Amino acid sequence: MNPLLSALQPYPFERLRQLFQGVAPNPALRPISLGIGEPRHPTPQFIKDALTASLTGLAVYPATAGDPKLRESFAGWLRRRYAVAVDAATQVLPVNGSREALFAFAQTLVDARTPADKPVVVCPNPFYQIYEGAALLSGAEPYYAPSDPARNFAVDWDSVPKAVWARTQLIFVCSPGNPTGAVMPADEWKKLFALSDRYGFVIASDECYSEIYFRDEPPLGGLEAAAKLGRADFRNLVAFTSLSKRSNVPGLRSGFVAGDAALLKAFLLFRTYHGSAMSPVVQAASIAAWGDEAHVEANRALYRAKFAAVTPLLAGVLDVALPDAGFYLWAGIPPELGLDDPAFARELLAHYNVTVLPGSYLARGAAGANPGAGRVRMALVVDTGECLEAAQRIVDFVRSRRV
């Protein structure tokens, strides 16, 4: 058995299941879950039609690099969305969702052959737990860079010691962030690129929430930031994106990576042996999805209306504000309630039958503190009516605890 498996921590939803053992939710209220970030808006019909029209593809072994038409659809979307030009033959690859790709990329990249100088993978904190698992199973040591609530939960890259940067081989960036919804501005990208040039590490930019945003200006992407800074070769940078949130097709398991051609050449070699080629049926549906923006705009409008209705209601009792992007609210629990975040989630389920995720489950203790402690993540993925009902129950719960 691989001994590195023992280093993995339970996934947040397994910890949540254990937390709720023995809890009997209020039977007078229907259950509403804001705990899991699974898109619930309907899948557009034209994507389903493209899928079913391509079932003959089930009789064909797909190429790991994907059909040229699929890669052209990636390049076309990057050009329209970010005004970024990539070579469809060498700078993009299909992946089976960003989660699979993020994990596999670390296994491709990290060189852990020198135990005396163990490599480091830097992660934001709080973070998407795949980053940590990918680092550990590659033989690297995760280092957790905390987010700063005073700066809209921007990651404090300056807090990372030079000695850590010197051992860093890979850094995971998540913008828009999960769970905070923070978007990394241009000056932060400039800082990371300078650090990458100095220390030689690779930047993996997780951008799966990029199309759900609440202000007129769309979130800045990593490739876009690089191009604006004259880094058109995207050296030491790979961006990861997905159709799951953008097009409401989490079950399609479809996305792509783009960036440094040399890195993607190595990643393609790994994926060829890994057996991670995308089905031709999924490829056909993906081409259709990447080529249409009308359904994305409609999806974004649904989230905007939902957040506009729910956020002010919750802001009356919790420390919460409209995020930059994404579909999560990252809410602080009032200290006077006398509840830590797991206790808040447990009591809320018991009395009001609403599920939220404790913030401490999405972070790690570092420098004597867990930056997720005292907060909860709420995924506003169900319809507006359910979200409003859940929000009102949370308001009632907080007020009842204060009394």
pLDDT tens-digit profile, the chain (403 residues): 999 999 999 999 999 999 999 999 999 999 999 999 999 999 999 999 999 999 999 999 999 999 999 999 999 999 999 999 999 999 999 999 999 999 999 999 999 886 668 999 999 999 999 999 999 999 999 999 999 888 888 899 999 999 999 999 999 999 999 999 999 999 999 999 999 999 999 999 999 999 999 998 999 999 999 999 999 999 999 999 999 999 999 999 999 999 999 999 999 999 999 999 999 999 999 999 999 999 999 999 999 999 999 999 999 999 999 999 999 999 999 999 999 999 999 999 999 999 999 999 999 988 788 999 999 999 999 999 999 999 999 999 999 988 6
Identity of residue 179: P
What is the per-residue pLDDT for 114?
Answer: 66
Distance CA 233, CA 226 (A): 9
Length of the chain: 403
**Beta partners for residue 121, in sequence order:** 142, 170
- Write the CB contacts of 382 (distance below 8 Å, at least 6 apart in sequence): 32, 33, 34, 40, 390
Q: Look up tokens 């097709």; give the residue.
A: 249
Alpha helices for 41-96 (secondary structure H): 45-52, 68-82
What is the per-residue pLDDT for 116?
Answer: 67
Query: What is the pTM (predicted TM-score) of this model?
Result: 0.96
What is the per-residue pLDDT for 115?
Answer: 63
- Write the CB contacts of 33 (distance below 8 Å, at least 6 apart in sequence): 354, 355, 382
